[in-house]
Amino acid sequence: MQEHDEIAAAAAQFYSALNALFEGDMGPMTEIWSHADDVTYMGPDGGFQVGWQDVRADWEKQAALKLGGRVEPDGMIISQGSEIAITHNYEKGANVNTGEVSGTVLIRATNLFRKEEGGWKMIGHHTDSLPFLNR
């Protein structure tokens, strides 16, 4: 049960970091992610980044947009092994820019975590596409 709670906490840290990113703060996202070459990000804009350098660059672009709003996980299911954990859930919320809702969010998400140096770090994030973000 302790491992399950640690994974739930890591997932909560990711969503907290995501919401900070919507306000332009990249710091928490840098903390939750592994900085390894095998991490992957397939976000709601349809991209596919591999390796921390490319993943970080994509998150930095998003932080610069200051999309505003909040997204929260809903209905999370956690699967875990001793070194790898996966969460599946919906992401619900909205991006709000300059007081106007710029896009409603209701998508599926899969998050992957790996135990690194005694803690759980994100190694993958994959979501459905959002039409208002598609490239």
| 52-85 pLDDT tens trace | 999 999 999 999 989 888 999 999 999 999 999 9
For residue 97 the two structure tokens come to: 């820019």
pLDDT value for 135: 46
* CATH number of the structural domain 2-127: 3.10.450.50
**Region of residue 46 (left: phi > 0; alpha: psi -120 to 50; beta: else):** left
What's the pTM?
Answer: 0.91
| 17-56 pLDDT tens trace | 999 999 999 999 999 999 999 999 999 888 999 999 999 9
